[in-house]
């Protein structure tokens, strides 16, 4: 058999996704968009006709990591000069034409608001033209994209409802790479949710850089959640990521009254120090955050709380860091994400005097130890409880199935009586480092 590609063979697309859940969603839609040009996805870059790196600009040295990845792709380009290589997402938005200058093998660069134009960009490449689009276009990329394909898919899905941010936190590039806050109309979101349910999805996570600032429904995010509650076949909903200043009364009430809204909330605070919060331009205090958590837990006492923390922000003292540790002890987190501060060019904090790296690392280790201890204690407290698990995949061991509980805990069970997509009662019998073990009830 010849390894040469036949003209009738479909073109293969490999997408490597970095960063947040919104990028996972965007990668799916990129694949669907290029499907109109005859592309099918592949799990390996080796046999691809197009490789897209869907990038994130949040983490440390994000741009340099992408340039390193492009360097690793050079042998594939040398082997197959017809291979198209593209950079998408937030690094593409931030770096623009500089990517093509530094890595001439890159064929296209597309920002996160323009990926619906990928078919036209591929046409431009065929004509020998440059394919660079980092605009913030007037046309709605979500409405431009075709309806979701009807192929069967897994039981959980992400659905972007809001993009961009108007908060301008001093450490964050999102307002510059994703633009100002934009919300999708509720009817289009419901339509897409119904399409997802038709192909097997039972749980949807609503996504936004500042999702609880959603204003595409008269009732805000809470109104959208209640409309999703009416979608037949949809069993669960979640949302992420939220800002404390946009947790309104209706959304808090929904956590206590909407059965399909799961008892899990990711509500980043970033720091427990009022001085640091002000320097970050967070526009709330630690006391306001405490009072908000009290209200949310009054509405839903069993809610599992997740958060984000940055240590070593410019100007942070040991006393400021201890305020963060105190906040963590007071609130109690079932899950959390913590990071050393790293500069982002163009953001206000990048120009300030930086905390020593060794100090940052020491604080990060101390914070992560406390967060890990809290996570472990909450997981242990689940032993003996019965939770509802949506099973998503087979485990590593024969007969093992893995899914997520209402609280987003990974749960595994040894059973031959469960299929992917089943929602079953599971009694928790043990806790491991990052998962729970259970028995089908």
For residues 134-158, give the mean pLDDT.
Answer: 73
* % of the chain residues with pLDDT over 70: 94
| 311 three-class SS | strand
Is the model's pLDDT at 258 over the cut of 60?
A: yes
Q: How is residue 312 annotated by DSSP?
A: S
For residues 298-320, give the mean pLDDT.
Answer: 98
| 315 three-class SS | coil
Annotated domain spans of the chain: 11-133, 147-262, 265-381, 386-440
Range with lowest mean pLDDT among 19-33, 139-153, 359-373: 139-153
73 within 8 A of 106, measured Cβ to Cβ:
no
Instruction: Name the CATH superfamily housing domain 11-133.
Output: Methylthiotransferase, N-terminal domain (3.40.50.12160)
Range with lowest mean pLDDT among 9-18, 21-30, 298-307: 21-30
| 202 three-class SS | coil
User: pLDDT band for position 141 (50/70/90)?
Assistant: low
Residue range 58-69, pLDDT digits in tens:
766 778 889 999
**Nearest to 279, CA basis, from 352, 170, 399:** 170
Instruction: Give me the pLDDT at residue 9, please.
Output: 79
Instruction: Give me the pLDDT at residue 148, please.
Output: 63
Which phi and psi (to 5°) does residue 328 adopt? Answer: -60, -45
CATH pick for 265-381 out of 1.20.1440.230, 3.20.190.10, 3.30.750.200, 3.40.50.300:
3.30.750.200
Q: Report the alpha-carbon distance of residue 25 to residue 235 in Å, rounded.
A: 20
CATH code that applies to domain 147-262: 3.30.750.210
The H or E element spanning position 373 is helix 357-381
Instruction: Give me the pLDDT at residue 57, please.
Output: 78
CA 330 to chain centre: 27
- Mean pLDDT, rounded, of the chain: 92
Helices H, strands E: what count in the chain?
A: 14, 18
Is the model's pLDDT at 138 over the cut of 70?
A: no
Instruction: Give me the pLDDT at residue 1, please.
Output: 34
User: pLDDT band for position 2 (50/70/90)?
Assistant: very low
For residues 40-53, give the mean pLDDT.
Answer: 94
Is the model's pLDDT at 244 over the cut of 90?
A: yes
Is the model's pLDDT at 289 over the cut of 90?
A: yes
Range with lowest mean pLDDT among 16-30, 187-201, 214-228, 315-329: 16-30
Is the model's pLDDT at 4 over the cut of 60?
A: no
Q: Report the alpha-carbon distance of residue 193 to residue 114 in Å, rounded.
A: 22
Q: Do domains 11-133 and 265-381 have the same CATH topology?
A: no
CATH pick for 386-440 out of 2.40.50.140, 2.60.40.10, 3.40.390.10, 2.60.40.1930:
2.40.50.140
Residue range 170-216, pLDDT digits in tens:
999 888 888 889 999 999 999 999 999 999 999 999 999 999 999 99
Cα angle: 333, vertex 336, 342; to 5 degrees: 140
In order of 219, 225, 304, 305, the CA distances from 254 in angstroms are 11, 8, 15, 16
Instruction: Give me the pLDDT at residue 248, please.
Output: 97
Is the model's pLDDT at 398 over the cut of 50?
A: yes
For residues 123-132, give the mean pLDDT.
Answer: 88
What is the pTM assigned to this prediction? 0.83
Instruction: Give me the pLDDT at residue 111, please.
Output: 87
């Amino acid at each position: 058999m010849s390894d040469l590609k036949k003209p009738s063979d479909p073109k293969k697309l490999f997408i490597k996704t970095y960063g947040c859940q919104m990028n996972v969603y965007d990668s799916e839609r990129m694949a669907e968009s290029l499907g109109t040009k005859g592309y099918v996805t592949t799990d390996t870059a080796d046999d691809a006709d197009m490789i897209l790196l869907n990038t994130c600009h949040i983490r440390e040295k994000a741009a340099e990591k992408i340039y390193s990845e492009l360097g690793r792709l050079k042998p594939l380009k040398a082997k197959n000069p017809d291979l198209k290589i593209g950079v998408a997402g937030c690094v593409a938005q931030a770096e623009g034409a500089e990517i093509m200058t530094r890595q001439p093998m890159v064929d296209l660069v597309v920002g996160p608001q323009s990926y619906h134009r990928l078919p036209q960009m591929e046409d431009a490449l065929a004509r020998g033209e440059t394919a660079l689009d980092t605009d913030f276009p007037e046309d709605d990329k979500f409405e431009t994209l075709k309806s979701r394909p009807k192929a069967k898919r897994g039981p959980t899905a992400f659905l972007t409802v809001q993009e961009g941010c108007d908060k301008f936190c001093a450490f964050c590039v999102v307002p510059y790479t994703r633009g100002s806050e934009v919300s999708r109309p509720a009817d289009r979101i419901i339509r897409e949710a119904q399409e997802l349910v038709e192909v097997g999805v039972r749980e949807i996570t609503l996504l936004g850089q500042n999702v609880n600032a959603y204003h595409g429904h008269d009732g805000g995010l809470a109104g959208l959640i209640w409309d999703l509650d009416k979608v037949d076949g949809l069993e669960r909903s979640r949302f992420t990521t939220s800002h404390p200043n946009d947790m309104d009364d209706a959304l808090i009430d929904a956590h206590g009254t909407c059965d399909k809204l799961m008892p899990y909330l990711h509500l980043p605070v970033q720091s427990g120090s009022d001085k640091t919060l002000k320097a970050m331009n967070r526009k709330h205090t630690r006391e306001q955050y405490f009072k908000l958590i009290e209200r949310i837990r009054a509405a839903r006492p069993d809610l599992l709380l997740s958060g984000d923390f940055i240590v070593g922000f410019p100007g942070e003292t040991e006393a400021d860091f201890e305020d963060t540790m105190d906040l963590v002890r007071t609130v109690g987190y079932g899950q959390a994400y913590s990071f050393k501060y790293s500069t982002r060019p163009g953001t206000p904090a990048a120009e300030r005097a930086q905390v020593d790296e060794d100090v940052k690392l020491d604080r990060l280790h101390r914070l992560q130890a406390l967060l890990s201890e809290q996570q472990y204690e909450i997981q242990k407290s689940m032993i003996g409880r019965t939770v509802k698990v949506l099973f998503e995949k087979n485990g590593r061991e024969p007969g093992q199935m893995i899914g997520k509980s209402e609280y987003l805990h990974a749960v595994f069970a040894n059973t031959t009586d469960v299929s992917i997509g089943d929602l079953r009662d599971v009694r928790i019998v043990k806790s491991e480092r990052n998962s729970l073990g259970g028995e089908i009830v």
